[in-house]
Every structure is written in structure tokens, then in C-alpha cells.
Amino acid sequence: MGNLAVSYAGAGKVELIDTPYPEFELKDGPGVHPANIGRQVHHGVILKTIATNICGSDQHMVRGRTTAPEGLVLGHEITGEVVEVGRDVEFLKVGDVVSVPFNISCGRCRNCKTGQTGICLNVNPDRPGSAYGYVDMGGWVGGQAEYVLVPYADWNALKFPDRDQAMEKILDLTMLSDIFPTGFHGAVGAGVTVGSTVYVAGAGPVGIAAATSAQLLGAAVVIVGDLNEDRLAQARAMGCETVNVALGDPADQIEQILGVPEVDCAIDAVGFEARGHGHGAATEQPATVLNSIMEITRAGGSLGIPGLYVTGDPGAVDEAAKVGSLSMRFGLGWAKSHTFVTGQCPVMKYHRGLMNAILNDKVSIAKNVNATAISLKDAPKGYAEFDSGVAKKFVLDPHGLIGA
């Protein structure tokens, strides 16, 4: 049996390729760490992919802004049906529909045992933390494919209680693998609580998920900043205030909204491809958002930083940024006693609670991010549209199950 998949084909390009059907063993391939080749995965399951989403993190690679090798199978946002169960799996059965955290974690190491599943010590020989279909993350094959292998499945996979209910809400539930928990982690890291005033930098899908999460946590006012008017309109449609940072410093616009030029909490949902504000909006300035949110967050406040920052960016604006060194005003953050919460979201910490919020109609994340289902064969078109800045979250439907 074959396995059609989406792969990175060089800067600005993705293509559909035929790949082998998964086995319970890691094979050699683009991006696979040599120490992981031949790794036995009898604790895994093979999923028939129901939904797998195009993520802004994928776009960083596709733009050629990482050291990702050509041929890498993409995709770390995975929801699927179990079709094969490994020898050592006890609790999952064929036919179960599950959400898969984008972090791969073993459930056995020191970090996993304390809930830090984003920095598992056993799944990536290079560094703590791993993900499907992502550069420098151990080489686990991505899920933008018809079928995918999920290791440590009893630990990693979140089983939905009822298949029919799950399929009815699949466009919401597919967001549990990454962007909804990531946005929620940003809001939690920023200390959002009842009555908070919150600034979210970035109105892409993660920014909208962070804004949704801030509302869910009881924020009094959520302000979303971006350059893209279509995305800002989407934020307003879900009840947020907005600022267009192309018009100038966010502080002035925030003061018009709140009466003061600062917020209680701020979230960076942009990451290392940030652009300048005001007249500098057309130029890339990777520390812009970090510096901006330090300026507008009150003394003693917290900054949630789910936006991606990398240690290798060959397309960076200067030599320092190519290795992740940015011109941050860290002294300002120190002077204001800010707390910084960074790194991969530990999805497992939040995904069950957010699943229950979805299943019980407490949140409409798919509507907020404008979830749009397309076929696997339309993935190249979806990547191109997403890169143009459309206010959509593209959900790939490899088997036509969402439409059905």
C-alpha cells in the first residue's frame, strides 16, 4: 500500500510524493537523525489521517527560513483513526479516533513525568523536544499524508469519547493537535485571568487561538495587533479590539482603546519573521514584537511567547539572527520585572480540557480561525494561499472524510 504525502521541495515549493506505508520502525529518510534509524516503535499505532493542518511553523520551512532538507514530509497537526496497533499498545483499539499532540514525548523521562512534554529527553538525539515532520526534531515522519505512525501511542494520543460526535466537530477538534493549545499556552504564560487586559501580537491562526483562549480565560479586553486588515477583521468578528501596527506604535492605539498605553498581559504569536511597526512595517526586524510587548506590558506583567524562534535561519537579515541572536531590549524587561514564558507548548497539559470545551459548545475555535477544508492534492495551492496572508486555517482532508 502506498502513502501520498506533502513534502518540502525547496524554498517556496511543496509537492505531493508517494511514500512508503508506515511500519513500526523508523526508516532512513530526509531529516531522520542517524541515531533514530532502525528505532523500533512497537508502542505505536498507525493512523488513517482524517485531518492534518497547514501551520505557520510549516511555512517557515517552506519559505526556506530553516535548515530543513528537501524531501522532508511535512505536517505536525494530526487527527486520525487507528488502523493498526503495535504489539505493546494496551489501551487504544482499531477504529478509535484520536488527536495527536505535535510534540512527540515518551511519557517516561524526567521532563515528561513533570508535564513538560514539549521537551521530552528521549525522542530526539540532538536536543530536548521533538515533532512530526519538522526540521531538527528527530526525523519523525510528518502527518500531511494519508497514513502516519504515532509512537508511544497510549501516552501521546487523546481518544475522543464518541466517534460520531467527533466527526461532527472535526474542524474544531483538529485544532487540538497544535494551535489551540499553543494559543492557550501563550495566554496562560502571559497570566491571563478574569478581568485582564491582553495584547496579542499577530492575527494569524495562533494569534486568533491565543485571543480565543484569553476570552475563554475571562479577559476583559483582548486587543489583537497585525499588519493584515483581513486578519484584523477576523479578530474583530470574534469580539476583539484591533490595532494596525503599520500605522505606528501599538501603545498609542492601545491608549485610545483602554485610556492607558499599557496592558496587563501580552502574547507574541508572530515569532522570528516579525516585521517593523509604522514606517518600518515593510522590513523584517525579528526582535520587533518582543521589544514592543515589553514596552506595552505593565511592570510586573508576564509575556507569553508561543511564536517560533529558531537557532538556525539561513534567510535572516543579519549574521546574528542567522543563529537566533536578536537585538532584544532585555534590560527593559528586567527593569519592569517581566516574566517570559517561551518554548514549545506542552500540548498534553491542555488538550483534554480544551477538547471538553469544544464538545460542550463552550468555544468555536474553527469558526474563529476560519477553518477551511481542502483535499491533500490541493496542499500546494493551500500553502501558496496561506503564504499570501489569507485569513484562513487550511485543513487537509486526505480521505474525503471531512466533506462526507
pLDDT score of 249 more than 90: no
Nearest to 129 by CA among 150, 151, 149, 112: 112
Can you give the pLDDT at residue 403? 74
Lowest mean pLDDT among 184-193, 274-283, 290-299, 368-377: 274-283
Average pLDDT over residues 310-336: 87
Reported residue count of the chain is: 404
Question: What confidence tier does 295 reach under pLDDT thresholds 50, 70, 90?
Answer: very high
Question: What confidence tier does 129 reach under pLDDT thresholds 50, 70, 90?
Answer: very high
Yes or no: say if 297 and 263 are a contact pair by the CB < 8 Å rule: yes
Average pLDDT over residues 397-403: 93
Dist CA 359 CA 320 (whole Å): 46
pLDDT > 90: percent of the chain: 83
Distances in Å between the alpha carbon of 151 and those of 23, 105, 299, 317, 334?
A: 11, 8, 43, 38, 41
3-state secondary structure at position 161? coil
Can you give the pLDDT at residue 308? 85
Can you give the pLDDT at residue 248? 86
Distances in Å between the alpha carbon of 217 and those of 185, 197, 210, 376?
A: 11, 11, 10, 35
The larger pLDDT score, comparing residue 249 to residue 265, is at 265
Alpha helices in 147-273 (DSSP H): 153-156, 163-168, 170-173, 179-189, 205-216, 229-237, 250-258
Give per-residue pLDDT as tens, 39-91: 999 999 999 999 999 998 888 899 988 888 999 999 999 999 999 999 999 99
Can you give the pLDDT at residue 280? 67
Question: What confidence tier does 278 reach under pLDDT thresholds 50, 70, 90?
Answer: confident
3-state secondary structure at position 385? helix
Listed by start position, the domains of the chain span 2-178+346-397, 179-342
Yes or no: say if 44 and 152 are a contact pair by the CB < 8 Å rule: yes
For the chain, helix, strand, coil in percent to 5 are 30, 25, 45
Can you give the pLDDT at residue 315? 80
DSSP classification of residue 26: P
CB atoms within 10 A of CB 344: 24
Dist CA 188 CA 265 (whole Å): 10
Yes or no: say if 183 and 210 are a contact pair by the CB < 8 Å rule: yes
Nearest to 363 by CA among 212, 262, 200, 147: 212
Can you give the pLDDT at residue 272? 81
Dist CA 204 CA 232 (whole Å): 9
Homologous superfamily of 179-342: NAD(P)-binding Rossmann-like Domain (3.40.50.720)
Can you give the pLDDT at residue 271? 85
Maximum alpha-carbon separation in the chain: 62
Give the cell for residue 38. 532502525
Give the cell for residue 198. 491582553
Compute the mean pLDDT over every residue in the chain, rounded to the nearest whole number: 94
φ, ψ of residue 67 to 5 degrees: the values are -95, 25
Can you give the pLDDT at residue 196? 98
Nearest to 376 by CA among 97, 2, 83: 2
Q: List the CATH code of the domain at 2-178+346-397.
A: 3.90.180.10
Average pLDDT over residues 209-216: 98
pLDDT score of 325 more than 90: no
Nearest to 308 by CA among 56, 130, 7, 11: 56
Dist CA 47 CA 139 (whole Å): 18
For 75, left (φ over 0), alpha (ψ -120 to 50), or beta?
left
Can you give the pLDDT at residue 404? 66
Yes or no: say if 98 and 162 are a contact pair by the CB < 8 Å rule: no
The CA angle 170-172-174, to the nearest 5 degrees, is 65
pLDDT score of 253 more than 80: yes
Dist CA 197 CA 264 (whole Å): 5
Nearest to 380 by CA among 368, 394, 390, 393: 394
CA 309 to chain centre: 12
The CA angle 282-286-291, to the nearest 5 degrees, is 105
Can you give the pLDDT at residue 94? 98
φ, ψ of residue 66 to 5 degrees: the values are -135, 180
Question: What confidence tier does 318 reach under pLDDT thresholds 50, 70, 90?
Answer: confident
